[in-house]
Amino acid sequence: MASDAGTDEKMRVLVYSDDAATREKVRLAIGRRPAVDVPFVEVVECATQPKCVQYLDSGEIDVAVLDGEARPAGGMGVARQAKDEVYDCPPILLIVARRDDRWLATWSRADAVIGQPIDPVALADAVAGLMRQRLASRGSLTTR
């Protein structure tokens, strides 16, 4: 099956966590391209809630991966705020530490959720699914 993704097309994936090791694990799991049928990825990392909100408000982010355990502002609250306030909010993947936190992920209106420890294959699959969702919502237009 041939890829519909153009070779020059890139999608921007925001990775928010105050923990550099978590950001690195996410970045490595996503890689340059999480699936053959989606565009290449430009990962944008941030460690603070204000910068995360700034990126989400910019309209330049296609998918966001938020750490539910980030401090002082957790990814769940950031996700809820973004879904309430950001026009054309990108799909959000939330990383939660405990199975019991999945209900909070639902409250936050995250589009997908994975647990800790991060399974690189599950994370890449989830990000690729959200990328497909974003492309479909935009009519498969080239984003950048």
Domains, the chain, ranges and CATH? 10-137 (3.40.50.2300)
For residue 95, list its beta bridge partners.
Answer: 67, 114
Phi, psi of 96, rounded to the nearest 5 degrees: -115, 150
CA dist 64 and 126 (Å) reads 11
60 versus 8: which is more confidently predicted? 60
Average pLDDT over residues 84-92: 95
What is the model's pLDDT at position 2? 41
CA dist 132 and 126 (Å) reads 10
Q: Which residues of 80-98 are buried (b: 16+ CB within 10 A; e: fewer)?
A: bbbeeebeebbbbbbbbee
Residue 65 pLDDT more than 60?
A: yes
pLDDT bin (cut points 50, 70, 90) of residue 100 is confident
Average pLDDT over residues 113-124: 94
Average pLDDT over residues 11-29: 97
**CA proximity to 90, closest of 122, 57, 125, 43:** 57
pTM, entire model: 0.89
Under 8 Å between Cβ of 136 and 3 = no
